[in-house]
Chains A and B, each alone.
Chain A
Amino acid sequence: MTATTMPLTATEAPVADYRPPLRSRLSRLLLPVYTALAVAYLFLPIAVMVAFSFNNPRGRQNITWQGFTLQNYVDVWSRPDITDPMVQSLIVAVVSTIIATALGTLIGLALTRYRFPGQGTTNILIFLPMATPEIIMGASLLSLWVSLGVSRSLITIIIAHVMFNISYVVVTIRARLQGFDRGLEEAAMDLGADEWTTFRKVTFPLIFPGILAAALLAFALSIDDYVITSFVAGKTITFPLWVFGVSRLGVPPEVNVLGTLIFVVAFLAIAAQVLWQRRQARRQLVPSRAP
């Protein structure tokens, strides 16, 4: 298409005046405009959630716009029926993130830094939970607890969350470790550092961004999980369970308030991580540029 219009000589028209035909300019805009619309579509439910956190509904149903208020942001803190499940969710998310990140990082290190018999089997074991529908994992864990006669509680929720998070941690860590330069560790050892010092001073700082990213992902997956939790929760109620439970009767605006706050915190956490990584990257670039 451009091949026929490009060979303009200077006598015909100055290059600066050359403009591609309108159709071609429009077609170049097509994909960016489409992507912008698609991103807007992804944010549509978020916009609705945020908007209705400021709604002032009469009665239980928070589904039509009645008027702007900030009262929900005050009231939510005196609604233990909403905040208690949130606290449960936070406990589960923090504890399961710490355990899953530790266990997953160890597996990630083993898989990327060593060659050993059984590696293929381990890969499959890591992959399977990600290829299993959540309902199957929830149902099978319920089967386990029922057959063992174990009563379901916060502990069984945490066990389940660690289980489904390990694989995601491993995959994230491994993606970050793939570009890892073993030469840096060898250099440290050559300079007389023992293995522990090398790990502490070289390996760990280098893989730390990966660990942080994995922990963020695990936390996000845990705090949001409904399906598996619904099977292993027993009488414990986490935030997603509570919201699902009341959704038939009508969701109070305070739920939107908490949803909005989680969204803002997640946004800030991700933004901070991105900025921090950019600063790290720049710091690594500067000395190599200056002679």
Chain B
Amino acid sequence: MSAAIRRLRWAVPYLFLLPGGLWLLVFFVVPMAVMASISLQTGSLGTGYTLSWNFGIYPEAISQFATQFLRSFEYGFIVTVLTLLIGYPMAYTIAFRGGRIKNILLLLVILPFFTSFIIRTLAWKLILADQGFVLGTLKGWGILPGDFGLIATPIAVISGLVYNFLPFMVLPLYVALEKIDHRLVEAANDLYASRLQAFLRVTLPLSMPGVFAGSLLTFIPSVGDFVNATILGSRDTTMIGNVIQSRFLDFNDFPRASALGFVLMATILAMVLVYARLVGSDELTSG
């Protein structure tokens, strides 16, 4: 190899980065900037937009859709807590008691998600239907009153979100739990810790990176989701995602929709940054 090429070795990693990095720059970073600029423009799709630095759109849009914003963060929080409660014992069992079928169990957790997201959510609509085979049967046995219904309630939307984002919680939890050295738990037991104490003071703290990563991966998509609210919910369960989607695609109300999108993005990003401070960005990006 010639000396000239050898001297250019420093450029190799940048050459590797270039195509993918440019793609992300042009189709992820630039669109964000465009969306920010559109939020400050006035006009309409027909007459064209002009940049008028209309910052007033932000407080206006936030106060107009405060209910949906708050509801989305409320649902996102409930969904994160529920997936953590449901997912932790699963990840714990697979990591510590899975034995030889560990990988098969892990695949079983992921496998359902290779079916279309929409079809899965539609299947939940069928399962939760007022006269479906679950509620219908329970009503037939007289366990539930005849007018009991779940569809179009917050419970239906939240259970759809919990189902759809559960693997995003289980997988990082599993990764964190799997790394734990069993001898640490044994040492705690040798030192007369009860099983509960050993769990609370050794296993749980060591699994915190998984709890953080899982919470983030569940919270972010559920706050921004609108599919579950559309299929399983009603007008009273509208989330901010529904508003942004319809403002963009049905109303062509681009400035307001962009402002809403930007506020959602900024709020979530602020939460991510706080999280990154807590666990370190390396932990975050290598998950």
Residues of A whose CB lies within 8 Å of any CB of B are 1, 31-32, 34-35, 38-39, 41-46, 48-49, 52, 63, 65, 102-104, 106-107, 109-110, 113-114, 116, 118, 120, 122-137, 139-144, 146-147, 159-160, 162-163, 166-167, 170-171, 174-175, 178, 194-195, 220, 223-224, 226-227, 230-231, 239-240, 243-244, 247, 251, 255-256, 259, 262-263, 266-267, 270, 274
Given contacts A38-B86, A106-B20, A129-B24, 20 further A-B contacts (CB under 8 A): A1-B195, A34-B93, A35-B89, A42-B112, A43-B112, A45-B119, A63-B129, A122-B21, A123-B285, A133-B265, A136-B265, A140-B31, A143-B38, A159-B27, A162-B23, A171-B287, A227-B225, A266-B115, A267-B111, A270-B107
- Is B210's beta carbon under 8 Å from chain A? no
The answer to whether B264 touches A136 (Cβ under 8 A) is: yes
- Is B226's beta carbon under 8 Å from chain A? yes
CA distance A144 to B59 in the complex (A): 24
Within 8 A of A (CB), among B14-52: 14, 16-17, 19-21, 23-25, 27-32, 34-35, 38, 45
The answer to whether A124 touches B163 (Cβ under 8 A) is: no
The answer to whether B105 touches A39 (Cβ under 8 A) is: yes
Closest CB in chain B relative to A206 CB, distance in Å? 17
The answer to whether B34 touches A140 (Cβ under 8 A) is: yes
CA distance A46 to B223 in the complex (A): 25
The residues of A that contact B268 with a CB separation of less than 8 Å are 131-133
- Is B156's beta carbon under 8 Å from chain A? no
Contact flag A135-B245 (CB < 8 Å), given A107-B20, A166-B23, A266-B111: yes
The residues of A that contact B12 with a CB separation of less than 8 Å are 110, 114
- Is B114's beta carbon under 8 Å from chain A? yes
CA distance A95 to B56 in the complex (A): 43
Closest CB in chain B relative to A141 CB, distance in Å? 5
The answer to whether B115 touches A49 (Cβ under 8 A) is: yes
Per DSSP, chain A at the interface is: helix
Per DSSP, chain B at the interface is: helix
- Is B206's beta carbon under 8 Å from chain A? no
Nearest CB to that of B76 among chain A residues?
Answer: A133
The answer to whether B103 touches A274 (Cβ under 8 A) is: yes
The residues of A that contact B233 with a CB separation of less than 8 Å are none
Stretch of B62-70, B137-145, B254-262 lying at the A interface? B254-262
Within 8 A of A (CB), among B172-230: 194-195, 216-217, 220-221, 223-227
19 A-B pairs in the complex with CB atoms less than 8 angstroms apart: A39-B108, A42-B163, A42-B166, A42-B167, A45-B115, A45-B123, A49-B123, A52-B126, A102-B19, A116-B14, A133-B241, A136-B261, A136-B264, A146-B254, A170-B20, A227-B226, A243-B119, A259-B115, A267-B114
Which one, B38, B133, B227, B281, contacts A226 given CB within 8 A?
A: B227
Contact flag A135-B226 (CB < 8 Å), given A140-B32, A160-B27: yes
Which one, A122, A132, A141, A146, contacts B17 given CB within 8 A?
A: A122
The answer to whether A127 touches B245 (Cβ under 8 A) is: no
- Is B82's beta carbon under 8 Å from chain A? no
Closest CB in chain B relative to A39 CB, distance in Å? 5
The answer to whether A256 touches B112 (Cβ under 8 A) is: no
The answer to whether B20 touches A256 (Cβ under 8 A) is: no
The answer to whether A109 touches B119 (Cβ under 8 A) is: no
The residues of B that contact A255 with a CB separation of less than 8 Å are 119
CA distance A143 to B38 in the complex (A): 7
Contact flag A127-B109 (CB < 8 Å), given A122-B17, A133-B223: no
Nearest CB to that of A128 among chain B residues?
Answer: B28
- Is B127's beta carbon under 8 Å from chain A? yes
Closest CB in chain B relative to A63 CB, distance in Å? 6
The answer to whether B120 touches A49 (Cβ under 8 A) is: yes
Contact flag A247-B118 (CB < 8 Å), given A139-B261, A142-B248: yes
The answer to whether B97 touches A110 (Cβ under 8 A) is: no
The residues of A that contact B287 with a CB separation of less than 8 Å are 171
